[in-house]
């Protein structure tokens, strides 16, 4: 009986992985939109997504493949956060964005010239920063907004973020620093982040 149950679980996981491979298109850097997630942390089947990702990393044959997997995992977390906000299920957004930021931090921000993975990461950063900024405007929960700001702040500190992508976030922080919706401590923190952000803009760099 236990053996049969184990086989059923394995088959179910395999079918789940095949389904996702066929129907969930990876978000590559050339895309302008990250899309939505079919399965979010609100789903009872979400744990299978974690199983799938463990297997994907385990069978990543090279460092290059592993890095691309990590990039896709981070994109999935961002897609999940976007879906949760759309579905007005924002209590799960903070934890999802924490995982997103942690997974993206696994990716190096120092790249060799013409490095394929590096180019993919840099281009994805543009997409992710734009997506997070849009999410910030759509989120209604103060905690969701706080974690989106935190994710933005962690991303713009990377060496591979361009001025073009960083500048709008600097402006967002400066604007929110005077928002009456935030308490005094949050305003001070955002004001400090905005100042550091503007100072980090490299002259002559796009």
Q: Are residues 83 and 179 in the same domain?
A: no
pLDDT in tens, 123-143: 999 999 999 999 999 999 999
Q: What is the mean pLDDT of residues 30-39?
A: 82
Q: Are residues 179 and 134 in the same domain?
A: no
**18 lies in a domain?**
no
Question: Is residue 71 within 8 Å of 65, Cβ to Cβ?
Answer: no
**78 lies in a domain?**
yes
Q: Are residues 144 and 72 in the same domain?
A: yes
**17 lies in a domain?**
no
pLDDT in tens, 65-117: 999 999 999 999 999 999 999 999 999 999 999 999 999 999 999 998 889 99
Q: Are residues 145 and 171 in the same domain?
A: no
- Count other C-beta atoms under 10 Å from residue 75's C-beta: 24
What is the number of structural domains in the chain?
2
pLDDT in tens, 144-179: 999 999 999 999 999 999 999 999 999 999 999 999
Task: Give residues with Cβ within 8 angstroms of 30, minimum separation 6.
Answer: 123
Q: Are residues 134 and 170 in the same domain?
A: no
Q: Are residues 147 and 167 in the same domain?
A: no
* Residue-range definition of the domain harbouring residue 126: 39-152
Q: Are residues 142 and 186 in the same domain?
A: no
Q: Are residues 143 and 173 in the same domain?
A: no
- Count other C-beta atoms under 10 Å from residue 16's C-beta: 16
Q: CA–CA separation, 56 vs 42, rounded Å?
A: 22
Q: Are residues 105 and 173 in the same domain?
A: no
Residue in this structure with the two tokens 């088959």, named with its chain if needed? 11
Q: Are residues 179 and 123 in the same domain?
A: no
CA 174 to chain centre: 23
**4 lies in a domain?**
no
């Amino acid at each position: 009986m236990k053996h049969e149950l184990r086989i059923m679980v394995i088959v179910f996981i395999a079918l789940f992985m095949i389904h996702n491979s066929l129907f969930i298109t990876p978000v590559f850097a050339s895309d302008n939109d990250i899309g939505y997630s079919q399965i979010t942390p609100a789903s009872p089947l979400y744990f299978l997504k974690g199983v799938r990702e463990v297997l994907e990393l385990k069978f990543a044959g090279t460092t290059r493949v592993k890095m691309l997997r990590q990039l896709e995992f981070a994109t999935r977390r961002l897609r999940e956060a976007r879906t949760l906000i759309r579905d007005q299920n924002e209590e799960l957004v903070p934890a999802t964005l924490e995982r997103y930021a942690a997974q993206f931090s696994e990716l190096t921000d120092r790249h060799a010239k013409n490095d394929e993975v590096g180019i993919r990461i840099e281009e994805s950063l543009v997409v992710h920063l734009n997506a997070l900024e849009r999410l910030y405007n759509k989120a209604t929960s103060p905690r969701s907004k706080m974690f989106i700001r935190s994710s933005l702040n962690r991303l713009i500190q990377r060496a591979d973020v361009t001025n073009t992508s960083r500048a709008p976030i600097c402006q967002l922080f400066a604007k929110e620093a005077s928002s009456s919706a935030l308490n005094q401590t949050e305003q001070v923190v955002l004001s400090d982040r905005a100042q550091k952000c503007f100072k980090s803009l490299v002259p002559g760099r796009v």
